[in-house]
Structures are given as C-alpha cells and as structure tokens.
Homo-oligomer: A and B are copies of this chain.
Amino acid sequence: MKQILLSHGGGGEETQRLIKDLFFRYFSNPILEKMEDAAVLEINSKLAFTTDSFTVSPIFFKGGNIGKLAVAGTVNDLAMMGAQPLYMSCSFIIEEGFPFDHLEEIVRSMYEEMKKSGVKIVTGDTKVVPRGSADKIFINTTGIGRIVYDGISASNIQEGDIILVSGTVGDHGACIMAQREGIEMEGDLKSDCATLWPVVKDLIDSGIPIKAMRDPTRGGLSAVLNEWAESSDIGIEIEEDMIPVKDEVQGMCELLGLDPLTLANEGKLIIAVPEDQAEKTLEVLRDNPLGREAQIIGRAISDYKGKVILKSSYGSKRILEPPAGELLPRIC
C-alpha cells in the first residue's frame, strides 16, 4: 500500500509531486495554482478571519472524517459572524507511514464539503513527521469570509431576546465517544458534521435581525450559553424539555456518564433574536434541511445576570454551570 514518506515533507521533488498530484487535483483553482509564497486576494469588504486545528480521533467516523470536519468547522466559524466563506488555507501534519488512500479520501471529502459554501483553498502547507511524532494526521484550516451581515456578537443579547437551537444537540460528541469506546451504535447515532453557511444565508436573506450566533462545538450548548450570559451580562433561562436530544444520544450519555448539553456539535447553531422575530426565525430554520429540528429553547432575562438557568417541565430551576474539567480530548 502506498504510504506517505518523510520525503513527502522535505520540500523537494516528492513534496512538489504530492502537492500537484494530490492536493491540486481536488483543491485546484487559479489562485492556488500560482504556488507562490502567499496567495493574492482581492476582497473589498469587511472580513472575518478564523482558525482551527483538527486532531479528532478516530479520523474516520460515522457522518464524516477529519477532512470534512476541517472544512465545515472553519466555514461555520465564519458563518457565525455573518460572513460568506471565501478563502481558506489548509495545512497538513502527517505521520510518516500514513496510507496514501486515506489521505486521498480525506482530501476528497474536503473537496466535497467546500462545494456546500463555495469556499476555496488558496494556500497550503504539508509537513510529514516521523512515526510516533504525531498520531496519523492533523489539519489546520484558516478561513477568510466577506461579512455580509455586520454586528453579530456574544455581547449583544438583551432582556427578552429569544434563544433558538437549529437541531438536536450532542450528536458529534456522542458519536465520537461511542466509536472510541467501541460501542455498537444503532440507528441514527452519527456526527452532525455539516457546513452551516446555507442556513445562515437563509437567515440573512430573510432579514432576521441576528443578535448573537455561535456554533456549539467543544463545551457544547452549555459553554455557549454561559459565555453569552457573561458577555451580555444577562440571565438566560432555558426550558430543559425544549432542547432537542436524540434518543440514541441520550442513551449513550447515560451509558458513559456524559451530559448532552456539554457535548460537542459540529453542524448546529445557537442564535439569539428579538422576541418578535422568534417565530419567523424558527420557520426559516425549519425550512432548511440543516435546521429541520430547530427549537425555541429559552430567553434572556434580567435576573440571574451572568448565569444560565435550566427550567424543568415541573417548574423547578437549577443553574447550568459552565463546563469544566471535561476530559474529551480529540473530539474535533
């Protein structure tokens, strides 16, 4: 089986060949192909700029792989700031001996995922490290987007604003944990890994006034809500029963002692909008396959400033603490 060798990262002929024969085959565009020290871009707009490194293990999982995740993850961070994803860098750190076929499958997934937003890879880097110096493959993607909806911020939320989630929470985290623990997964349990730009575009095109928007990745719903409460200096009251959680995810959480509210999502968004826009927001979300199971889950209140309150259907209340000490490494 063809493998990645140290020489593929040496900067000589083999590196050039790998770049041209594999990466360019899928990523190709006129800007990338120039192969200079930096790509040249012309964008006349306010920009969004974001980075993430991906170290997920296993690298292939139900619903995606590290390549799909690396494209969707960075595109989503741009989209959350109201930015249309335009350009991306991608940088690979590959362990010596990594199967060439796997690399190609990852690169192909990246290509497929880029089509969902139209983002283009215009610059890259390829490093190969000796066996044992890295576990299989790590990918960094760094994105640039054109801000088409300005002013979204975690600190914008005011009393009365409504909080919605675009679908079920915890899917990605539960899937990765289950696969890592070798638990047989039945039915629908798979990562939600997806590019959110199309549904964000729908929200913007519909004229929804977006106060805050975030993708609840590491730390899950709980981390985002706590950050919002703190940044906006408001309380956030959540109807616990309104948070959509798949049965399979709930089951996996009970088995492994996890909380779906702190598990990572990779294809969901949380959004805060003015009260009178909540129903319209829900409709726009549900009209898109990416938001089919969207729910209104809560509102901003003047009490409990800086805190998130979970209300049960019986009316009891408890504080949802920000996640801490969680040991879920390599979830993304």
Contacts and interface: CB of A to CB of B under 8 A. Distances in A.
Interface in A67-105: 76-78, 80-81, 83, 87, 89-93, 96
A288 interface: no
Given A36-B81, A91-B51, A140-B142, A328 B10 contact: yes
Contacts of A122: 49
Given A91-B53, A125-B53, A329-B130, A78 B38 contact: yes
Given A38-B48, A218-B15, A89 B10 contact: no
Contact of A11 (B47, B127, B218): B218
Contact of A48 (B35, B40, B264): B40
A289 to B, nearest CB: 22
Contacts of A51: 89-91, 123-125, 140, 142
Nearest to A96: B329
A47 B53 contact: no
Given A49-B123, A324-B13, A133 B57 contact: yes
Interface in A115-145: 122-125, 127-130, 132-135, 138, 140, 142-145
A10 B50 contact: no
A235 B7 CA distance: 26
A323 interface: yes
A142 B89 contact: yes
Interface of A: 6-7, 9-15, 34-44, 46-53, 55, 57, 76-78, 80-81, 83, 87, 89-93, 96, 122-125, 127-130, 132-135, 138, 140, 142-145, 147, 152-154, 214-215, 217-219, 223, 262, 264, 322-330
Given A34-B153, A40-B48, A12 B223 contact: yes
A41 B47 contact: yes
A34 to B, nearest CB: 7
Q: How many copies does the complex hold?
A: 2
A9 B138 CA distance: 15
A10 to B, nearest CB: 4
B138 A324 contact: no
A216 to B, nearest CB: 10
22 contacts: A7-B325, A10-B219, A10-B329, A12-B324, A13-B323, A34-B153, A37-B81, A37-B214, A38-B48, A38-B81, A38-B145, A41-B48, A41-B49, A49-B144, A51-B91, A51-B142, A53-B138, A55-B127, A55-B129, A55-B133, A130-B330, A144-B144
A38 B12 CA distance: 35
A50 B123 contact: yes
Contacts of A218: 9-12, 15
A215 B37 CA distance: 8
A96 B219 CA distance: 19
A92 B52 CA distance: 9
A325 B140 CA distance: 25
A37 B76 CA distance: 9
Contact of A217 (B11, B43, B52, B53): B11
